[in-house]
Amino acid sequence: MEATTPRPGRWLWLATLGLASSCFLLLVARPLHAQQATGPRLATESPYFFVKSDDPSVDRLPLKSTEVDVKISGVIADVRVTQTYRNEGSRAIEAKYVFPGSTRAAVGGLNVRLADRLITAQIREKQQARIDYDAAKKEGKTAALLEQHLPNVFQMNVANILPGDDVKVELRYTELLVPQAGNYQFVFPTVVGPRYNSPQSANKDAKWVAQPTLRDGVAPNAAFKLKMALDTPLGIKEIRSATHAIDIRKTNEDQHADVALTQSGEPANNRDFVLDYRLAGEKIESGLMLYKGQGENAENFFLAMVEPPKSVAANTILGRDYIFVVDISGSMHGFPLDTAKAVLERLIGGLRPSDTFNVLLFSGSNKMLSPQSVPATHANIEQALSTIRKYNGSGSTELIPALKRVYAEPKAENVSRTVVVVTDGYVTVEREAFELVRKNLGRANVFAFGIGSSVNRHLMEGLARAGMGEPFIITDPVQAPEQAARFKRMVESPVLTNVKATFGGLDVYDVEPQVLPDVLGERPVIVFGKWRGEAKGRVIIEGQSAEGPYRQELRIDNATRQDAAALRSLWARHRIASLSDQEALEGGDAFKQRITELGLRYGLLTQYTSFIAVDKVVRNVAPQASTSVDQPQPLPKGVGELALGEGQSLGVAVPSTPEPETLGAIAIVLSMLAMLRRRARRHDSRRLTA
């Protein structure tokens, strides 16, 4: 029997088929990555789970309690936080504790109570404070160091806590409460959520990010108590907390209220404490506060708060383009992502037919739901929502590539674009994100929706501030409809543009902010500053409203308060925030000296200044035998273990379109297959004809 010799076409066919198969296998094996990523996508570097040591001599949980005492007078909150550390082991320890703070807090004091001694901390340049602390630790002296890693992330280090010691550390701060739509809100964050530490982050080497975290369902061992005294010049209409059960006692014709946490078995320090209150008559405290300094070279400060005009429906507003940037990473799994879906249903569902929109989903990679923005028709909206509902949250949190892709999207010249970021903010790329948003302010403004029980408010507020938008924080699904409606009211009609502040008869300087932004609605105009000479004259706020020119005056008279000492710290805190924003935009540490000088002069904690308290007594005769202990964080309520590295290793990247070079290779291979197939058919046809 004659052997069969393979035809050349068959060899080409088999070779091409093998090449196509290899390309397919490479495509499947190769993880899809975010656009503009530099290098392979790395696993998260979030904190590790806490595992208690078997060594009974070391107390691995030295923080025993946190007590918060809040006094609110008018629009200023004075807060004292007392952390109690107790060493129940038999070996001296250094306790390290990373904890959150308010993004608006002016932290201006620290005391350490050790037995019957009170040690008052001093403000120092950050590196010098660290040197002094390390020296005291080596000498065997009990010392405390308070540092700021971010405007809302602090770290307390307490060295040489001897067995049996009780060390109480008290920190104090003030905060301005700015109402929204007549609603006042006080927030006390209790836990730093686990961060995805991007390799592109300026914080990629920060040690505080890798703090140990308790497993899901493990309650924090430290007790948490909070009490508040609330005094207002107007009657208090309503007090409520959507995050915690509270006990309320009103006195003095509803102008004073005492608030405390209700005792229950549920942990109270695994989520933000949020208290909302309204005043009688739905008014805000428009007015002027002064502080006259004491001494020869003392400075005088003022604060003006002016209620904006009401929003006016504007039927002539042109259609806008909206791009919704939605985080579907591991930390969003469960309650945050479920709530985000509910919010998006209302945000996207509330668009007008004249609007266009698109949705970008991101975790370790990103995907646009449409090649370009589409009209906000019922069919397009429903198709987008049905796609979003399929995702459950997994993978890392690559925010910067997602934002870069959004800004690369083309748009028509006459169309205004709004970017809406929806995330819990568990990243370390705040500075890079602010810089990117500010550099692209001419392309779009940015609104930020932070969803979760312990949102990274620094990121959300910073994104909105850089993008001339507003932040929206949702700690509970019940708040979703309210916040979505508020967003719609804001974007539909700016209520005040071309805003200016002038001063008649009052000699002012160092006014903050230096340029007043447009008022989008429901928030008052805030102006800080200093004044010289006599307290007389008036503050005038002018602008253009939907109904025409707007003007409001605040006159200084004998009834104007001049004892608001907190204005000194609040002004300095606002100036530091402005300089920090500018530093993030320009890069480097160009404003380090000015921020440091402000921190030292006004006694404030900043990214370049720290508080240091050192006991004069050498208490630990063998400091070299001490060990350091990192106090673990609880998982924020509603956040699962997918937020940490162990869970994220199982994450699935966002399905997205293959890279252009991959598509090109596939197209070439398919073309070759088709060509060879046609050639084989022609060859077979000739054989049959012969």
**What is the residue whose two structure tokens read 């240091």?**
612
* Region label for 644, one of left (φ > 0), alpha (ψ between -120 and 50) or beta (otherwise): beta
Q: What percent of the chain has pLDDT over 90?
A: 40
Q: What is the dihedral of CA 560, 564, 567, 570, to 10 degrees?
A: -130
Cα separation of 388 and 367, whole Å? 11
Contact (Cβ atoms closer than 8 angstroms) between residue 289 and residue 561: yes
Cα separation of 572 and 603, whole Å? 10
Cα separation of 70 and 78, whole Å? 6
| Percentage helix, strand, coil for the chain under 3-state DSSP, each rounded to 5 | 30, 35, 40
Residue 428 CA, chain-centre distance (Å), reads: 10
Class of CATH domain 63-282+604-630: mainly beta
Which tokens is 418 given?
């709004």
* CATH code given to domain 287-309+496-598: 2.60.40
Quick: pLDDT tens for 360-386.
999 888 889 999 999 989 899 898 888
Write the CB contacts of 617 (distance below 8 Å, at least 6 apart in sequence): 141, 142
Of residues 395 and 17, the one with the higher pLDDT is 395
Cα separation of 660 and 669, whole Å? 14
Cα separation of 223 and 212, whole Å? 18
Mean pLDDT of the chain: 81
Q: How confident is the model at residue 431 (pLDDT cuts 50, 70, 90)?
A: confident
Q: Is the pLDDT of residue 415 over 80?
A: no
Beta bridge partners of 94: 628
Quick: pLDDT tens for 569-620.
999 999 998 888 888 767 677 799 999 999 999 999 999 999 999 999 999 9
State the pLDDT at residue 675. 52
Q: How confident is the model at residue 494 (pLDDT cuts 50, 70, 90)?
A: low
Quick: pLDDT tens for 388-403.
888 887 888 899 999 9
State the pLDDT at residue 282. 59
Angle ∠(590,595,597) on CA atoms, nearest 5: 115
Of residues 28 and 130, the one with the higher pLDDT is 130
Q: Residue 615's closest CA among 265, 165, 34? A: 165
Q: What is the dihedral of CA 633, 639, 641, 644, to 10 degrees?
A: -60
The answer to whether 287-309+496-598 and 320-492 have equal CATH topology is: no
Beta bridge partners of 564: none
Tell me the pTM: 0.76
Cα separation of 375 and 354, whole Å? 7
Q: Span 148-173, mean pLDDT?
A: 94
End-to-end CA distance of the chain: 23
Angle ∠(148,152,155) on CA atoms, nearest 5: 40
Quick: pLDDT tens for 340-351.
888 888 888 888
Q: Residue 506's closest CA among 564, 554, 568, 575? A: 554
Which tokens is 139 given?
């000498």
Domain spans of the chain? 8-32+663-689, 63-282+604-630, 287-309+496-598, 320-492
Q: Is the pLDDT of residue 41 over 50?
A: no
Q: Span 514-526, mean pLDDT?
A: 74
Beta bridge partners of 356: 321, 375
Write the CB contacts of 577 (distance below 8 Å, at least 6 apart in sequence): 151
Classify 341 as helix, strand or coil.
helix
Of residues 4 and 280, the one with the higher pLDDT is 280
Angle ∠(457,355,655) on CA atoms, nearest 5: 60
Q: Span 29-41, mean pLDDT?
A: 36
Contact (Cβ atoms closer than 8 angstroms) between residue 440 and residue 407: yes
3-state secondary structure 565-581: CHHHHHHHHHHHHHHHH
State the pLDDT at residue 397. 86
Quick: pLDDT tens for 644-653.
754 333 233 4
State the pLDDT at residue 647. 38
Contact (Cβ atoms closer than 8 angstroms) between residue 423 and residue 399: yes
CA R_g for the chain: 29
Write the CB contacts of 232 (distance below 8 Å, at least 6 apart in sequence): 72, 74, 255, 279, 285
Which tokens is 463 given?
């994104």
Cα separation of 63 and 97, whole Å? 8
Q: Span 636-665, mean pLDDT?
A: 51
Contact (Cβ atoms closer than 8 angstroms) between residue 399 and residue 422: no
State the pLDDT at residue 284. 60
State the pLDDT at residue 311. 59
Q: Is the pLDDT of residue 676 over 60?
A: no
Quick: pLDDT tens for 78-107.
999 999 999 999 999 999 999 999 988 999
State the pLDDT at residue 668. 45
State the pLDDT at residue 493. 62
State the pLDDT at residue 638. 82
State the pLDDT at residue 580. 87
Q: What percent of the chain has pLDDT over 70?
A: 81
Which tokens is 449 given?
């929706």
* CATH code given to domain 320-492: 3.40.50.410
Q: Is the pLDDT of residue 28 over 50?
A: no
Write the CB contacts of 642 (distance below 8 Å, at least 6 apart in sequence): 330, 331, 333, 393, 394, 648, 650, 651
Residue 356 CA, chain-centre distance (Å), reads: 28
State the pLDDT at residue 594. 94
Write the CB contacts of 49 (distance below 8 Å, at least 6 apart in sequence): 212, 213, 214, 215, 641, 644, 646
Contact (Cβ atoms closer than 8 angstroms) between residue 255 and residue 232: yes
State the pLDDT at residue 164. 94
State the pLDDT at residue 549. 86
**What is the residue whose two structure tokens read 């065997």?**
140
Quick: pLDDT tens for 318-342.
568 899 999 998 888 888 888 888 8
State the pLDDT at residue 210. 78
State the pLDDT at residue 161. 95
Quick: pLDDT tens for 117-154.
999 999 999 999 999 999 999 999 999 999 999 888 99
